[in-house]
Structure 1
Amino acid sequence: MGKRRKPSPPSRARMAVLTTAVAGGAVLAAGTAHAEPAPNLASVKEQVDKLNEEAEQSIERYNGFQAKQTKLQSDANQLQEKVARGQEAMNEVRTRLGAVAADQYRTNGIDPSVQLMLDSDPAGYLEKAAVQNQVSDSQTAMLKQAQNEQRKLDQDRAEATRTLAELDSVGKQLLEEKKQVQGKLAQAQTMLNKLSAEDRAKINAQESAAKQAAAAKQATEADRASRGAQRPDLNVPAPPASGRAATVIAFAQAQLGKPYGWSKTGPDSFDCSGLTGAAYRAANVKLSRISQDQWNDGPHVDRADLQPGDLVFFYDDIHHVGIYIGDGKMIHAPRTGKNIEVLPISVMPYKGAVRPA
């Protein structure tokens, strides 16, 4: 039998090819195992829109807590000053009582009635002194004053304590709402960051197309109205703005292009109710801080009777507001990441309108 020949070792070139193929397969397998599926564009847009709407609701609640905190802090400061004045008045009465006691001590010793007057309970003194018939008219008047001062002081202290406790509670609610806002905005941004630049551009294009479609719809309604068709529920064309309304709209127009800033009231950025409030302040009219309260800042107006300068509100919980400028359009501060813009009022779920008094 012939000798069996040993197989020759693979050449260096062949080893290189095999190594590359194995490594490539491993990388491919690893990449396949860890690759995340591409996010669905429509689903992402829907979720981001929902998060932004929830964030705006939280922003209006945050604004409400902030306004309440400011008022409570002012009330607490006034009450603390009132308590300090009351304590001074009480100290003055007690000083006078002490002077009477000192005078009697220097002569014949402290009279039992005066000892009662120095009791920490003025009301109790009056009751005891009346029984013993040991009190003069002047002493009675002094003790009644002490009793009144003590009662007012106790009431003011109790009210100050309640106000400070409420202030602390509102401060905690404010911080919690701020966390809610930041969390929702961060979650929305994280979802957008997972999209490609192309998909983000598509979302922006969809929003722009929706605005154009709404504007076109209103233009069609206006054209039908001009041809004698049934008048739509929009005041088209609207009368020109004048007086206070002109001032409000001029202010709002000057803010176009500025960024939305949550809980901001200007001058560099605004949220929705911050913009409407600032515009009306320019016309010397004070509005409430949040949209839900601005809903009650004047008589309600039918949609068919809208006039430039009216406030227009959206969603069932009234968490968004804009300024009507005529022709079915408004100026509003939309949401984080957007700028103040002109938008047809039909783009969002319309709730109603108010003409501030």
Structure 2
Amino acid sequence: MASHRRPKQPTRTRVTVLTVTAAAAVALSGQAANAAPAKPSKDEVKSKVDALYEEAEQATEKFSKAKEHQDQLEKEIGQLQDQVARGQEELNTLRGTLGSMASAQYRTGGIDQSLALFLSADPDNYLDKASTLEQLSGKQVEAVQKIQAKQRGLAQQRQEAAGKLADLDATRKELGDKKKASADKLAEAQALLNTLTAQERAQLKDEDTRASRSEGERVDLGNVKPSGRAGAALAAAQTKLGSAYISSATGPNAFDCSGLTQWAYKQAGVNISRTTFTQINDGTRIGKSQLQPGDLVFFYGDLHHVGLYAGNNTVLHASNPRGGVKYESINNMPFQFGVRVG
């Protein structure tokens, strides 16, 4: 027969120990939950900030590309609108000529009904009806055909302008999006930097400066003798060492990466395009072993960063908001290819 003994009750001492232990566990877990997260180290902040700078630069180059497209569209739209205005004036003149013919015909015995159709309040409906031309004189036929051609040309130009205006609206929206994306990343990076002490921020700046100086000395040790326009571009860029990096800046006191390369080549008398995405087509592509001082060098899979080859495996570039214009080892970034301008 099964036993139905009453379970042994815990002693008062045991209950007290269990209660104290449980309370301690709850207190410790509460402290762990409320404990502030460990402050990231200077190197961790640097790594995160560099990644954010990278994302901001991607957005900046896309912004600059969209801005360039917007400027081109506005120029083309302006030209089309001028053409349409001139075309409308020419069309009015042609209609005036046709009206003069009708007036002369009326004075000599009445206006031809076909000609009256072209001069009616809604002549466009009749201009494509070639059969009516058979009833007009040679000069009248010629005038009507000119009006037809001019109207078709104006319709095409207006349609083209409308398409470009729609493209312009989309481009302006893209501009706003890319500008905001870049600004957001830079603000996030600055917030991270603000978690460091003033001394730690100064140390980061000093590290960048010393690294740039060291790479510059490597260039000198390589006995680099740049020449030609590429050499002149590099020499111009070297005068901007230490200048600030500012998104979308093109000099002369601050630059982004493609703004520096464009400015440097302009000082050498060569006009290259504005963004990394177009500068890749401003010359002949070459490999790392073919690089000479002043060649453009492109980095990252999406080609959003560019600098000038300075020799001895060193790049001179507008790096980021913390480093500014500086020398850096070509091996610090994922090199894609070089471009020899001219």
Instruction: List aligned pairs for 1:276-287, cutoff 5 A.
Output: 276-287=261-272
Is the Cα contact below 8 Å between 2:65 and 2:277 reproduced in 1?
no
Residues 99 and 248 (structure 1), Cα distance of their counterparts in 2 relative to 1, 3 Å cut: same
Is the Cα contact below 8 Å between 1:238 and 1:306 reproduced in 2?
no
Is the Cα contact below 8 Å between 1:93 and 1:146 reproduced in 2?
yes
Work out the CA distance in 1 between the residues paired with 2:176 and 2:329: 34
Is the Cα contact below 8 Å between 1:321 and 1:332 reproduced in 2?
yes
**What secondary structure sits across from 2:283 in the alignment?**
coil
Alignment pair present for 1:296 and 2:281? yes
**What secondary structure sits across from 2:135 in the alignment?**
coil
RMSD across aligned positions (CA): 2.8
Equivalent residue letter for 1:311: L
- How much has 1:108 moved relative to structure 2? 2.9
Alignment pair present for 1:73 and 2:58? no
Equivalent residue letter for 2:39: P
**What secondary structure sits across from 1:61 in the alignment?**
helix
Alignment pair present for 1:325 and 2:310? yes
Deviations 1:313-335 (A, max 9, x none): 11111111111121111211011
Alignment pair present for 1:247 and 2:232? yes
Work out the CA distance in 2 between the residues paired with 1:237 and 1:202: 29
- How much has 1:270 moved relative to structure 2? 0.8
Alignment pair present for 1:259 and 2:238? no
- How much has 1:68 moved relative to structure 2? 0.6
Residue identity (%):
42
Name the residue aligned to 1:309. Answer: 294
Range 196-205 or range 149-158, more displaced? 196-205
Range 43-52 or range 120-129, more displaced? 120-129
**What secondary structure sits across from 1:355 in the alignment?**
strand
Q: TM-score, length-normalised on structure 1?
A: 0.78
Name the residue aligned to 2:338. Answer: 353
Name the residue aligned to 1:57. Answer: 58
Residues 239 and 187 (structure 1), Cα distance of their counterparts in 2 relative to 1, 3 Å cut: closer
**What secondary structure sits across from 2:309 in the alignment?**
strand
Counterpart of 2:260 (choices 252, 275, 278) is 275
Instruction: List aligned pairs for 1:104-115, cutoff 5 A.
Output: 104-115=105-116
Residues 75 and 276 (structure 1), Cα distance of their counterparts in 2 relative to 1, 3 Å cut: same
Deviations 1:35-90 (A, max 9, x none): 73332225433322211100010010011011111111111111110001110111
Deviations 1:204-251 (A, max 9, x none): 5665687799899x89xxxxxxxxxxxxxxxx9475111212211221
Name the residue aligned to 1:226. Answer: none
Equivalent residue letter for 2:37: P
Alignment pair present for 1:138 and 2:123? no
Equivalent residue letter for 1:98: G
Residues 346 and 125 (structure 1), Cα distance of their counterparts in 2 relative to 1, 3 Å cut: closer
Q: TM-score, length-normalised on structure 2?
A: 0.82
Residues 49 and 185 (structure 1), Cα distance of their counterparts in 2 relative to 1, 3 Å cut: same
Name the residue aligned to 1:121. Answer: 124
Equivalent residue letter for 1:39: K
- How much has 1:288 moved relative to structure 2? 1.7
Alignment pair present for 1:181 and 2:152? no
- How much has 1:299 moved relative to structure 2? 1.2
Name the residue aligned to 1:230. Answer: none
Is the Cα contact below 8 Å between 1:330 and 1:344 reproduced in 2?
yes
Is the Cα contact below 8 Å between 2:208 and 2:323 reproduced in 1?
no
Residues 88 and 193 (structure 1), Cα distance of their counterparts in 2 relative to 1, 3 Å cut: same
Equivalent residue letter for 1:97: L
Name the residue aligned to 1:8. Answer: none
Deviations 1:113-157 (A, max 9, x none): 211232522764642314xx4111111111110001101111111
Unaligned runs of 5+ in 1: 1-30, 220-235
Work out the CA distance in 1 between the residues paired with 2:199 and 2:36: 18
Deviations 1:15-42 (A, max 9, x none): xxxxxxxxxxxxxxxx999773332225
- How much has 1:264 moved relative to structure 2? 0.9
Report the count of equivalent residues.
309
Is the Cα contact below 8 Å between 2:230 and 2:294 reproduced in 1?
yes
Name the residue aligned to 2:36. Answer: 36
Name the residue aligned to 1:190. Answer: 191
Residues 303 and 212 (structure 1), Cα distance of their counterparts in 2 relative to 1, 3 Å cut: same
Instruction: List aligned pairs for 1:135-174, cutoff 5 A.
Output: 135-174=136-175
